[in-house]
């Protein structure tokens, strides 16, 4: 039996187990299982490896996409560049980190955000998922600014996002967990009424499918997209890595 799974601190929001279990059944993949492994701290990862010697691959979610890096034997070139890992391949007792968030985000953004409409992006958050977003935007030659609760350098504070400033950016990307189940009543504080039908809003959160962030953006006329397509794309990329 080849085992796969997801590590994170709180995994009640995750669709990964259902996604992979359905995939295994639909595609007739036998001798494979996918489980959720909640880790109170990332240091427990080594205990997990000892407890589950049949593990062949892991996905990584909040808040361990950066913290897991020192515990791995090797990093893929893209994961090194991005500075975050969301996929681990385990082979012959060695672990290698990859970033399929980048692959999934870039592929879905290219479809959602037409080249003819591309302007500047406003990225909310600076965590592990945000790092993959930064890399994808750079590769797509989309300039961006970052909003943080604790800004450094030229990052912006949420209080600085005025209606006038929002007109400079026609793409807004939420990489924070605000709005994620069970905290569905939370959302980034922005002047949503300043948005128009020229704006695009992408929320990496996928549970619920319609967050308050997306609801507020849509009410102002913006085109919206949630994180489900990205989840599917990055999951398939992870499966390819585990089986390469």
Q: What is the CATH number of the domain that holds 30?
A: 3.40.50.10860
Which is it for strands 87-91 and 55-60: parallel, antiparallel or unpaired? antiparallel
The CATH number of the domain holding residue 181 is 3.40.50.720
**189-to-63, 148, 206 alpha-carbon distances in Å:** 22, 11, 19
User: Is a pLDDT exceeding 90 seen at residue 131?
Assistant: yes
Q: What is the mean pLDDT of residues 227-234?
A: 95
Asked if residues 26 and 59 have their Cβ atoms less than 8 Å apart, the reply is no
**Structural domain that includes position 108:** 102-230
- Residues 131 and 61 reside in one and the same domain: no
User: Quick check: is 202 in a domain?
Assistant: yes
Angle made by CA atoms 35, 40, 44, in degrees to the nearest 5:
75
- Residues 78 and 113 reside in one and the same domain: no
User: Is a pLDDT exceeding 90 seen at residue 199?
Assistant: yes
In angstroms and rounded to an integer, the radius of gyration of the C-alpha atoms of the chain is 18
- Residues 53 and 127 reside in one and the same domain: no
Q: Which of 120, 122, 84, 88 is nearest to 102 (CA)?
A: 84
User: Quick check: is 109 in a domain?
Assistant: yes
User: Quick check: is 192 in a domain?
Assistant: yes
| Residue that terminates a domain, selected from 36, 65, 98 | 98
Domains of the chain: total: 2
At 12-68, the pLDDT tens digits run 878 899 999 999 999 999 999 999 999 999 999 999 999 999 999 999 998 999 999
pTM for this prediction:
0.88
Q: What is the largest CA-CA distance in the chain?
A: 57
List the catalytic residues: 65
Asked if residues 23 and 33 have their Cβ atoms less than 8 Å apart, the reply is no
- Residues 62 and 144 reside in one and the same domain: no
């Amino acid at each position: 039996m080849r085992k796969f799974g997801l590590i994170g601190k709180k995994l009640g929001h995750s669709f990964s187990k259902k996604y992979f279990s359905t995939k295994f059944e639909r595609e007739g993949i036998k001798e494979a299982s996918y489980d959720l492994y909640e880790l109170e701290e990332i240091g427990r990862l080594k205990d997990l490896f000892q407890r589950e010697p049949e593990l062949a691959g892991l996905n990584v979610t909040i808040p361990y996409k950066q913290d897991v890096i020192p515990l791995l034997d090797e990093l893929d070139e893209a994961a090194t560049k991005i500075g975050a890992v969301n996929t681990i391949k385990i082979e012959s007792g060695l672990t290698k980190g990859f970033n399929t968030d980048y692959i999934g985000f870039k592929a879905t953004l290219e479809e959602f955000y037409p080249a003819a409409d591309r302007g500047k992006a406003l990225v909310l958050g600076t965590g592990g998922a945000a790092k993959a977003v930064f890399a994808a935007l750079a590769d797509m030659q989309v300039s961006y600014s970052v909003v943080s609760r604790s800004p450094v350098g030229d990052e912006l504070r949420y209080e600085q996002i005025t209606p006038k400033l929002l007109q400079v950016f026609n793409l807004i990307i939420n990489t924070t967990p605000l709005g994620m189940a069970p905290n569905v009543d939370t959302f980034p504080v922005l002047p949503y009424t300043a948005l128009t039908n020229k704006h695009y809003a992408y929320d990496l959160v996928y549970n619920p499918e319609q967050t308050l962030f997306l609801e507020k953006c849509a009410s102002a006329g913006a085109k919206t997209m949630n994180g489900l397509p990205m989840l599917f794309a990055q999951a398939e990329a992870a499966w390819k890595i585990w089986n390469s």
